[in-house]
């Protein structure tokens, strides 16, 4: 339902999220649980979540850290971290668990805590086969790690070198191309079958790569895949607002401490959970596509994963809300997206 200053939609879910672990959980989870009913929890912890047992323990820590009002309602959807040595037998266990919903493929060295990721995807073919059989989706960080490939081309080259082959070799496998950043990725998803989808972040639709160098180097705009040129940003907005059921919301909100971002070798990741749905409302509003927001944020994700749609509603209001310079993050601080600025939409 749209009205010019108010929008009521089915409560959304976040299909790609990093909440870290231990002391950091309680700082970031309220932002997510205030907005979303479910979130796909990325497994790239310092000690990656490689087994159903580790996923169960991580899930317990997440639930423990949730505020009391969300403990019974927020549902963390767990994932496993694929390695060259993942045992195919873990996939059946994952499906039987009822709480592990996907397996994440990080090419080794591609991003934060990915050193134990996959260096040889062919060694994982038995696992992918089992996933196709059990209906467990493969979530893909789609970038090659070859240092000779320009960082702005890594997604496109990954499509050519890996992803097209995987989609062809495993036609039954559900694949989510995560945080897509290029027109090439949009095209691949559009032309593939119905079991290939993609998440799109708000930051890749709000910023182009100039934001990395706006008057000086901007570590808080550094994420992976790195921001791309304007033509790609426009292609992402077009895909997200098209109503195509293959595209859905995944914030890839990725908190790091202020000092590890503002560093000679700063970490990749942008924290957006404080505006987890509001930033998308702003994008869809600007694209005159608010009527498509509910599909993208609340329907396409659960439909793809084979989960029920949420039943509750949320209200989004066109009202400016100031964003603090920092949020507490464990015993440190995290600098949020658009720190010191404003959200243009608010919830409630």
* Active-site pick, 252, 291, 303, 331: 252
**Binder among 223, 235, 279, 290 for ligand DOR (CB under 6 A):** 223
The residue (of 223 and 290) whose beta carbon lies closer to ligand DOR is 223
Region binding Zn ion by CB under 5 A among candidate stretches 101-109, 244-252, 255-263, 278-286:
244-252
CB 209 within 8 A of CB 228: yes
Q: Is the peptide bond before 336 cis (omega within 30 degrees of 0)?
A: no
Region binding Zn ion by CB under 5 A among candidate stretches 28-36, 186-194, 250-258, 331-339:
250-258
Exposure string for 196-218, b = 16+ CB within 10 A, e = fewer? bbbbbbbbbbbbbbeebeeeeeb
| Euclidean distance between CA atoms 185 and 60, whole angstroms | 35
Number of residues that bind Zn ion (CB under 5 A): 1
Q: Within its chain, how far is the Cα of 52 from the centroid?
A: 21
Number of residues that bind ligand DOR (CB under 6 A): 10
Closest separation in Å from C-beta 238 to ligand DOR: 23
**Binder among 90, 252, 278, 282 for Zn ion (CB under 5 A):** 252
Nearest Cα residue to 205 out of 242, 226, 232? 232
**First-residue to last-residue Cα distance in the chain:** 15
The residue (of 223 and 289) whose beta carbon lies closer to ligand DOR is 223
The residue (of 132 and 203) whose beta carbon lies closer to Zn ion is 203
**Binder among 32, 37, 44, 86 for ligand DOR (CB under 6 A):** 44
Rounded to 10 degrees, what is the CA torsion of 335, 229, 164, 295? 60
- Is 252 designated active site? yes
Q: Which residues are catalytic?
A: 252
Residues that bind ligand DOR (CB under 6 A): 18, 44, 111-112, 141, 223-224, 254, 268-269
């Amino acid at each position: 339902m749209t009205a010019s200053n108010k929008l009521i939609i089915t409560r959304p879910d976040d299909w790609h999220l990093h909440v870290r672990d231990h002391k950091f959980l309680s700082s970031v989870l309220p932002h997510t649980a205030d907005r979303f009913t479910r979130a796909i929890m990325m497994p790239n912890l310092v000690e990656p979540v490689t087994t159903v047992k580790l996923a169960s323990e991580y899930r317990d820590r997440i639930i423990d850290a949730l505020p009391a009002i969300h403990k019974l309602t927020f549902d963390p959807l767990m994932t496993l971290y694929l390695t060259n040595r993942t045992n195919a037998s873990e996939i059946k266990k994952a499906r039987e668990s009822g709480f592990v919903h996907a397996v994440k493929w990080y090419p080794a060295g591609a991003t934060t805590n990915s050193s134990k990721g996959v260096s040889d995807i062919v060694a994982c073919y038995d696992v992918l086969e089992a996933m196709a059989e059990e209906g467990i989706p493969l979530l893909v960080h789609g970038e090659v790690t070859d240092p000779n490939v320009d960082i702005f081309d890594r997604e496109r080259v990954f499509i050519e070198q890996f992803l097209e082959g995987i989609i062809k070799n495993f036609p039954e496998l559900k694949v989510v191309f995560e945080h897509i950043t290029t027109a090439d990725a949009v095209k691949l998803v559009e032309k593939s079958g119905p079991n290939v989808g993609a998440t799109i972040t708000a930051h890749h639709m709000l910023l182009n790569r100039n934001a990395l160098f706006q008057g000086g180097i901007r570590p808080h705009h550094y994420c992976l895949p790195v921001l791309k040129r304007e033509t790609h940003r426009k292609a992402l907005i077009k895909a997200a607002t098209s109503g195509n059921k293959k595209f859905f919301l995944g914030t890839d909100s990725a908190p790091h401490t202020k000092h590890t971002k503002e560093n000679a070798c700063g970490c990749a990741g942008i924290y957006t959970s404080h505006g987890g749905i509001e930033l998308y409302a702003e994008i869809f509003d600007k694209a005159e596509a608010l009527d498509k927001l509910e599909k993208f944020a609340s329907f396409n994700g659960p439909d793809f994963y084979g989960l029920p749609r949420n039943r509750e509603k949320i209200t989004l209001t066109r009202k400016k809300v100031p964003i603090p310079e920092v949020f507490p993050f464990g015993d440190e601080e995290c600098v949020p997206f658009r720190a010191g600025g404003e959200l243009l939409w608010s919830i409630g």
